[in-house]
Structure 1
Amino acid sequence: MSKKFQGYLNLSLAMILVGSTVIASKIIAAGLAPFTATALRFAIAFPLFLLLMWFTRTSWPKLKGRDWLILLAQAGAGSVGYTTLLIAGLSLTSATDAGVVIGTLPVVSAAIAILVLGERPDRRMLAAIALAAVGVLTIVFKPGETGSHSPLGIALIFGAVICEGLFILLNKRVKAEISPLALSTLMTGLGFAVALIPALFEAHATAAIDKNAILAVLYYALIPTVAGFVLWYAGSAKVSGTEASVFTALAPVSAVIFAFLLLGEPVGSHQLLGIGCVLGAVLGLTVPQIIASRRTARSFSAGEA
């Protein structure tokens, strides 16, 4: 097995696990309040990340006050905001709809960079943003459907995606060099601290804690959070950044498949059209970059020869 193929396999498994968090969040939403579940998730994952840091002899970064504030904002948006909004949204709408919306993350991140950082988009970027928007609107405006389909639920999940996009943007603002493992450890620790206080005030919201919800939180903390981290960074170390970004398209696909297989949710034409638009937007952004980078590498090799 080649090094690059191992990287592709690790990245694929990592993104499949990310897709499974939608199913876990759907189960959690039925038995736990959002902040309580989020605090519990980080309480389980944080000690494991500390053990990984000790085992790999990863050092803590030297941070200044400004960096600490940025990391705290990251934890509030990307860690707590994403998880709580996802759980809250899934209490109103289907996991299939959520899978489609989550697939817009790469495009939403690019749009935030344009709006906040003032980056100038090219035609391909504008087309990708428009296509992703069409994909989301396709599932928002499904005529004659109620119950498991909720525009408010979809809006909450899209808010979770925006929070994750802000997480990515804020990460670029940190001046200190932080290893991926140290960053993940900090995010889980700070995320627990941020989620704990509101969790204390919402504990009464759930009269009877569902055992399946607890098991889903345990799965979320151990498998997608910790194991997913290991798989993603093991894979991304073996391939280029543009190649790795393509594999994010697997997350919404796996979420829709899991929703159909594990939850028995129907997959209608609106969801298929929506996920097709979202995947087209993501691949339209990333595949040309991979082709261009490979051409550059071949030209460089030919020049050396």
Structure 2
Amino acid sequence: MNSRYVGYLCCALAMVGVGSTVVVSKSIAAGLPPFSATALRFAIAFPLFVLVMRWRGVRWPRLDRRDAVLVIAQAAAGSVGYTVLLISGMRLASAGDAGVIAGTLPAVSAVVAILALGERPSSALIGAIVLATAGVLACTVSPSDIAAPHAAGSVTGNALVFAAIVCEALFILLNRKLRKPVAPLPLSALMCGIGFAVSIVPACFERPWSMPLDAGALSGVLYYALVPTVAGFVLWYEGAARISGAEAGLITALVPVSALALAALLVRESVSAAQLTGVACVLGAVMLATFAQTLGTRNAA
């Protein structure tokens, strides 16, 4: 098979896995507190990453004090913050709405870069931000949701999911601030190890051992740790090495599509017109953001 097609397939499978985290977080939220689920996820994934590092002969990076602080902040925001907020939001939000919001990551990352780094946005990037915002609003403030008795809870859940995406955008920004870039494999292992250390103390305060055993939540955490976390990492970087950055960026559009499809198939949620509108806006935002990134790369060259 052509190497580029293998790259497309690997990246696509990785993004479908990311989309599935929204759906599986719904079952996790029903049976486990957020910090306990987060700590368990990293407790499973971390030793697997260490084994992969040993198998590939990859060493731990040597970080100065500044980079070490940034890596810890990355783990707190992108690993713990993202997972805790996503699971908390899924107690209230629908999986379909959350999937649409998760797809806004490229546009949210651009906004964070503009605000934190003072980057000047191109017209295409501004269009992407507008479309992504429209997609979120289509799900969050649609007339059908406002009329529903659970509207306040749904809006709160959507806000928590969006906060999770902001945490992931901060992760991306902080990674760009490292003086010495860290290779993907040891960085993923560090994120899991530090994420476990950060989440284990608040998890103890949740006293998960005093709660009834929920097989669905535990199997959800196991899936989250093995498929989107470990396998997703391997698939994404294996695929990204075979295709261009612009092509990889476009493939992230599969996140909201897969999340919405899986919500309909697995959770039996009905797909509303507002959600379809939101997905269309988010897909347009991903394409515009990718175009802006490609244009910026060409201008820099």
Question: Which interval holds the TM-score relative to the shorter structure?
Answer: over 0.9
Aligned residues: 296
Tell me, yes or no, if the aligned pair for 2:32 and 2:208 is still in contact at 8 Å: no
Partner of 1:91: 91
Equivalent positions of 1:103-114 (< 5 A) are: 103-114=103-114
Change (3 A) 1:102 1:8: same
Matched, 1:71 2:71: yes
Deviations 1:135-174 (A, max 9, x none): 1011111221243861000000000000000000000111
Change (3 A) 1:206 1:84: farther
Partner of 1:39: 39
Partner of 1:302: none
Deviations 1:112-140 (A, max 9, x none): 00011000111111111111101101111
Deviations 1:24-83 (A, max 9, x none): 101000000000000000000000000000000011111111111101100000000000
Matched, 1:60 2:64: no
Partner of 1:183: 187
Distance 2:210 2:130 in 1: 40
Distance 2:209 2:155 in 1: 23
Amino acid corresponding to residue 274 of structure 1 in structure 2: G
Deviations 1:163-217 (A, max 9, x none): 0000000001111231100000000000000000110111259732311000000
Partner of 2:171: 167
Three-state SS of the structure 1 residue aligned to 2:252 is: helix
Partner of 1:22: 22
Alignment partner for residue 249 of structure 2, among 227, 245, 250? Answer: 245
Offset of residue 244 of structure 1: 0.8
Amino acid corresponding to residue 11 of structure 2 in structure 1: L
* Structure 2: tracts of 5 or more residues without a match: none
Q: CA RMSD in A?
A: 1.9
Matched, 1:275 2:301: no
Partner of 1:150: 154
Offset of residue 291 of structure 1: 8.5
Partner of 1:303: none
Partner of 2:288: 284
Offset of residue 243 of structure 1: 1.3
Tell me, yes or no, if the aligned pair for 1:93 and 1:147 is still in contact at 8 Å: no
Three-state SS of the structure 2 residue aligned to 1:251 is: helix
Instruction: Tell me the percent identity.
Output: 55
TM-score under structure 2 length normalisation: 0.94
Three-state SS of the structure 2 residue aligned to 1:30 is: helix
Tell me, yes or no, if the aligned pair for 1:33 and 1:202 is still in contact at 8 Å: yes
Change (3 A) 1:26 1:206: farther
* Structure 1: tracts of 5 or more residues without a match: 297-305
Partner of 1:11: 11
Offset of residue 23 of structure 1: 1.1
Distance 1:260 1:175 in 2: 44
Offset of residue 290 of structure 1: 5.4
Distance 2:87 2:44 in 1: 18
Distance 1:250 1:209 in 2: 34
Distance 1:273 1:40 in 2: 36
Partner of 2:258: 254
Offset of residue 287 of structure 1: 4.2
Tell me, yes or no, if the aligned pair for 1:135 and 1:274 is still in contact at 8 Å: yes
Partner of 1:102: 102
Three-state SS of the structure 2 residue aligned to 1:60 is: coil
TM-score under structure 1 length normalisation: 0.93
Alignment partner for residue 216 of structure 2, among 190, 212, 215? Answer: 212
